[in-house]
Amino acid sequence: MPPASNREAILDAYERLLVEQGERAATVEAVARAAGVSKGGLLYHFASKDELADAAIERLHRVAAECAEEATAQPDGVIEVFLRDAVKTGDPLDLALGAVQALQQSGRYPQAKPALDAVVQGWVDMLTEGLGDPVLARLVAVLGDGLYFGAAFSGGGAGIATPPASEQELDEMIAAVQQLAALRGARG
């Protein structure tokens, strides 16, 4: 029996192909080649592309839950943790989100959109619980979306995003939102 790590390496390769080249390029053969396994080795773990897609969606749920758990355990509070995490790109959560987004955009995997929606709603719920203020929670979520968009898309030269926030700007935004939270009586 192949080691369990082969399964994760195959899933890693699948996610990278989805993000970098799109769903159509992520064929079983291409995934096997990218993972450094035979097609038979891939099929041992995933009997079809549909099983790969289901595993990527499952991984997104798992990684998002782990990140939310870590965020709520941090002493800095959910505002700071959430906004600092929003500017991170290339980490496991970013890769999982990008992969499932590629599945959703392909139109072939209807289970992708509800999965993405559930992850985003989970973040809003985490913020609402942590802050005790649903309006402030949505404000922080939208700010986080904008910070992520700037971090993820500004490097391509297309000019479609606000430049990423500098460390000082991020510190100042966090402080401003924390001041607003204090004014609103949130726990932030």
pTM for this model (two decimals) = 0.86
DSSP letter string, 8-48: HHHHHHHHHHHHHH-TTT--HHHHHHHHT--HHHHHHH-SS
pLDDT at 75: 77
Q: Judge if 112 and 175 occupy the same domain.
A: yes
Cα distances from 62 to residues 10, 93, 118, 134, 171, in angstroms, run 17, 9, 12, 25, 29
Contacts of 74 (CB under 8 A, 6+ apart): 80, 81
Q: State the 10-residue block means of pLDDT for the chain, 188 residues long.
A: 74 97 96 96 95 98 92 84 89 94 97 96 92 93 91 65 84 93 83
Long-range pairs for 139-147: beta carbons < 8 A, 24 or more residues apart: 139/177, 139/180, 140/78, 140/79, 140/82, 140/83, 140/177, 141/82, 143/83, 143/86, 143/173, 143/177, 144/82, 144/83, 144/85, 144/86, 145/86, 147/83, 147/86, 147/87, 147/173
Q: Could you tell me the residue range of the domain that residue 7 belongs to?
A: 1-47
pLDDT at 46: 96
pLDDT at 1: 40
Read off the tokens for 151: 């971090």
Q: Judge if 11 and 73 occupy the same domain.
A: no
Q: Judge if 70 and 116 occupy the same domain.
A: yes
Nearest to 140 by CA among 124, 129, 156: 124
Q: Judge if 34 and 54 occupy the same domain.
A: no
Q: Per the structure, how many domains does the chain have? A: 2
User: What CATH number does the domain containing 42 carry?
Assistant: 1.10.10.60
pLDDT at 174: 93
Q: Judge if 61 and 104 occupy the same domain.
A: yes
pLDDT at 23: 96
Q: Judge if 114 and 69 occupy the same domain.
A: yes
